[in-house]
Chain A
Amino acid sequence: MPSSDSEDFESADEGRSSPNKRERKKRLSSSNYSDNLESEQDNKKLEPVINKEASSIKENLPKDGWDDFDIEEESLPNNEPQKEETKASIVKPESSAAKKESQTSGWDDFDDWGNDNDNDIKEQPQKTKPQAQNIQEAPSSQQTSTKSDGWGWGWGVDSLLSTATAGISNLTTQVSQGISTVLETGIGAPDPEELARISAKNDTKPNSAEEKMISAETNHEQSNQSSATEGAFPFGSLLSGVTKFVETTGTKVIAGGLDTLETIGKKTMEVLQDGDPGLAKKRAMLGLDSGDKPVLSQVLREARAKADEEDQLREAKREAKAVHYETLFDDYEGLVHLEALEMLSKQVTIRIEERLRTDPDKRQDIKETLQQVAELCEMPDEEDEEEEEEVSEGASKGDALHERLQRATRDIGLKLQFQPLIKQYTEILTWLETDDPSITEKAVYKKAVSSLAQTTALCVELYHKTGEMLLVKSRRSTADEADALTQLTVVLTKHISDLATQFTEKLTSHATEDKDQVNNYITNVFLEAGNSSKYIENAFQLAIPIVQIGAV
């Protein structure tokens, strides 16, 4: 079964380069890339291109944010040699080959991943063997994919494939376990914010980095176990996938730095997290990676550009919609009164329901009463309320409104404060009557929307206050209250539509060239008036349980 190819390589590696390398590694712990080079040349006598490549890589290092890893390196060397030894003694062929592989592929920075996991490797040497065999089924696909990668690192591809595929199995175990170590220790784990952003970009939605790490870890373990029992094929493919992934991203790591490491960590987590043992899915996912997937920095740059764009858009919108009804309504405290009324209404509803539950004998009665009150609160059809305008002759519009409001609520048994509403209406009327030609149609429109928002806020406040007072009223008269509130709603919605009409008349009377714009404004005024009526009716509906509870 074992294809001789890889066996040869392993033994060759062991004999030749391993010990030297360890030596060298100690010497050159801070310049791993030149180390790579030497070993490359030892083995392959590569073209001088490498030197250029490598030096450029080195130059890239500092600005790519690799300093973190240097620190990692430096803090670890004490552990490394002895670990290496244990590893070498126990899983000799694999580890040395792996070592070689990792160095030739420029991965030695991550040796500590694997080294930390030496124990794991010891525990499952049998496991790694079959994987090694399986992995050899993959090299052809790896070759193509690596080449199509288009990184243009000719030396890397060739030398990697010839020397590396042999050691892949070992690398695979090392790396795949190493990755889980990374996940555990959190070396490469992007912070949650970063993650969230990337994943938003990827249209996946991780709950949190921690969760992800944990599940990735467990999944990894699961997949390890399941593949060990299920037979080697699926696991082998997974590994080949991972290996390919590691290989292709290896180069990216060098070029892209820490950002790319985050991507790897993230992608790997996704891969490991995905419990589906089916290889197709994994291949597809990894395929994404080997292709033209942009690096994280690119993603971030795009995200930023997008955010800027949105900012500008929002700014533009704000300019255009300098008059924002909802904002104005909020500013005039309409929203918070509505919220308070809602809380009150909910509280009362709970009390009514409690009463229904605790008093089963009277349940039917109570239900009927509730129904009756609800019927009393039904809004009359607009038509049959045909204007009984018997407002005193000569009264101002403001006084007329006051009279209507008082007539509507005369039986409610409360002293309601209509003054703010009347005062505001009077101010609006004064504004409308001033004939200042310098007022633009836009100014009229602004005033219209803000007046509607303010009036609506005052109306909602009126319902809220009425509700509060009804609840502390000593003697309730439900029918009267229901009727009064219904009448009040009729008067208030009428008031709103009056306002809208007056403002649109003002707009129409404006001599202007831009008829379209004026029509636009008029439409919007009526739209906001409709909005206002909705708020008012909403407040009225919220007040109904408060009336109802007086009867049960």
Chain B
Amino acid sequence: MTSGPYNYSYIFKYIIIGDMGVGKSCLLHQFTEKKFMADCPHTIGVEFGTRIIEVAGQKIKLQIWDTAGQERFRAVTRSYYRGAAGALMVYDITRRSTYNHLSSWLTDTRNLTNPSTVIFLIGNKSDLDGQRDVTYEEAKQFADENGLMFVEASAKTGQNVEEAFLETAKKIYQSIQDGRLDLNAAESGVQHKPASPGRPLAAPPAARDPCAC
């Protein structure tokens, strides 16, 4: 847990949003623990998960904010969008209502994050194909129209879960390389951690963030 505090070069903030019961916390659990959490309690406000991944040889720490889907927490969770580099917007392929609410979630995301925030649409519970209520094509079209990345995934089987999180990270990393995402902007959702040993001639690493309060 405490091995090498700075063995990553970036921190990306993700936020997971979507209606109650679509499986946001389960997706996170599957991604961080590689396990399916059968009976997951309602999330209160926001919970967190982290995992270090590698993109283009760079270690990246994903700091994932898993928000409550309950309507009553909506005002609270809106406070947490700010500074997200990636937003995973989840619906349940077996419940059309969760799909119908996507435009409202998308509006929140667009209003409360940066233009550079990568939005990834996930149709969860793809293992329950027999109870499908939303077709892949329909969702794919919605995603394309709104410029979102899209997969159908299953937190239960783990299908496409890695992909969703990793593709988002790749896209964010690409934005950094292209200069579309300004690391110095206060709310880019990306923090650059210096002192990655692979860069011998990098400028002397800045001291650790002195704000210890």
Chain B, interface SS category: loop
Among B5, B73, B205, the most chain A Cβ lie within 10 Å of the Cβ of B5
When A327-B5, A331-B2 are in contact, do A340 and B46 touch as well, CB less than 8 Å? yes
Q: B80–A340 contact, CB under 8 A?
A: yes
Is B204 close to A, CB under 8 A?
Answer: yes
Is A482 close to B, CB under 8 A?
Answer: no
CB interface residues, A 323-350, toward B, < 8 Å: 324, 326-328, 330-331, 333, 336-337, 340, 343-344, 346-347
Q: How far is the CB of A466 from chain B (nearest CB, A)?
A: 10
Q: A465–B45 contact, CB under 8 A?
A: yes
Is B200 close to A, CB under 8 A?
Answer: yes
When A336-B63, A534-B213 are in contact, do A311 and B197 touch as well, CB less than 8 Å? yes
**Cross-interface CB contact of A307 among B4, B46, B73, B201, cutoff 8 Å:** B201
Residues in chain B near residue A191, CB distance under 8 A: none
Q: Complex Cα distance A337/B79, Å?
A: 13
Is B76 close to A, CB under 8 A?
Answer: yes
When A343-B79, A471-B76, A472-B72 are in contact, do A465 and B201 touch as well, CB less than 8 Å? no
CB interface residues, A 296-319, toward B, < 8 Å: 300, 303-304, 306-308, 310-311, 314, 318
Is B185 close to A, CB under 8 A?
Answer: no
Q: How far is the CB of B28 from chain A (nearest CB, A)?
A: 13
Residues in chain B near residue A450, CB distance under 8 A: 2
Q: Complex Cα distance A291/B5, Å?
A: 44
Is A34 close to B, CB under 8 A?
Answer: no
**Cross-interface CB contact of B203 among A200, A300, A330, A336, cutoff 8 Å:** A200
Residues in chain A near residue B208, CB distance under 8 A: 326
Is A422 close to B, CB under 8 A?
Answer: no
Residues in chain A near residue B50, CB distance under 8 A: 333
The contact size tier of chain B is: 20 to 34
Q: B63–A469 contact, CB under 8 A?
A: no
Interface string of B172-213 (1 = CB under 8 A from A): 000000000000000000000001010011111100100011
**Cross-interface CB contact of A324 among B5, B44, B46, cutoff 8 Å:** B5
Q: Complex Cα distance A529/B204, Å?
A: 32
Is A531 close to B, CB under 8 A?
Answer: yes
When A333-B48, A336-B48, A340-B46 are in contact, do A468 and B76 touch as well, CB less than 8 Å? yes
Q: B5–A469 contact, CB under 8 A?
A: no
Chain A residue nearest to B4 (CB atoms) is A318
Is A464 close to B, CB under 8 A?
Answer: yes
Q: How far is the CB of A528 from chain B (nearest CB, A)?
A: 11
Chain B residue nearest to A446 (CB atoms) is B2
Is A255 close to B, CB under 8 A?
Answer: no
Q: A304–B45 contact, CB under 8 A?
A: no
Q: How far is the CB of B199 from chain A (nearest CB, A)?
A: 9
Q: A469–B44 contact, CB under 8 A?
A: yes
Is B82 close to A, CB under 8 A?
Answer: yes
Chain A, interface SS category: helix
When A314-B195, A336-B63 are in contact, do A306 and B204 touch as well, CB less than 8 Å? yes
Q: Complex Cα distance A308/B208, Å?
A: 18
Q: B5–A347 contact, CB under 8 A?
A: no
Interface string of B45-56 (1 = CB under 8 A from A): 110101000000
Q: A343–B80 contact, CB under 8 A?
A: yes
Is B38 close to A, CB under 8 A?
Answer: no
Q: A343–B212 contact, CB under 8 A?
A: no
Q: How far is the CB of A342 from chain B (nearest CB, A)?
A: 10
Residues in chain B near residue A535, CB distance under 8 A: 213
Q: How far is the CB of B63 from chain A (nearest CB, A)?
A: 6
Q: A303–B201 contact, CB under 8 A?
A: yes
Q: B45–A468 contact, CB under 8 A?
A: yes
**Cross-interface CB contact of B212 among A306, A326, A340, cutoff 8 Å:** A326
Q: Complex Cα distance A318/B201, Å?
A: 21
Is A196 close to B, CB under 8 A?
Answer: yes
Residues in chain A near residue B1, CB distance under 8 A: 331
Q: How far is the CB of B206 from chain A (nearest CB, A)?
A: 11
Q: How far is the CB of A450 from chain B (nearest CB, A)?
A: 8
Is A538 close to B, CB under 8 A?
Answer: yes
Is A283 close to B, CB under 8 A?
Answer: no
Q: B44–A307 contact, CB under 8 A?
A: no
Q: How far is the CB of B119 from chain A (nearest CB, A)?
A: 20
Q: A197–B197 contact, CB under 8 A?
A: no
Q: Complex Cα distance A340/B48, Å?
A: 10
Residues in chain A near residue B205, CB distance under 8 A: 310, 314
When A310-B205, A314-B195, A538-B213 are in contact, do A328 and B2 touch as well, CB less than 8 Å? yes
Residues in chain A near residue B48, CB distance under 8 A: 333, 336-337
Among A307, A450, A469, the most chain B Cβ lie within 10 Å of the Cβ of A307
Q: B203–A196 contact, CB under 8 A?
A: yes
**Cross-interface CB contact of B65 among A200, A304, A340, cutoff 8 Å:** A340
Residues in chain A near residue B4, CB distance under 8 A: 318
**Cross-interface CB contact of A347 among B63, B72, B79, B204, cutoff 8 Å:** B79
Name the 6 nearest CB pairs between A and B, nearest first. A468-B45, A327-B5, A347-B79, A472-B72, A343-B79, A344-B79
List 8 other contacts, CB 8 Å, given A307-B204, A327-B2, A469-B45. A307-B201, A310-B205, A336-B63, A340-B80, A343-B80, A343-B82, A468-B46, A472-B73
* Sampled A-B contacts (8; CB under 8 Å): A200-B203, A310-B204, A331-B1, A333-B48, A336-B48, A337-B48, A465-B44, A471-B76
Binding site for B on A (CB under 8 A): 196-197, 200, 300, 303-304, 306-308, 310-311, 314, 318, 322, 324, 326-328, 330-331, 333, 336-337, 340, 343-344, 346-347, 450, 464-465, 468-469, 471-472, 531, 534-535, 538
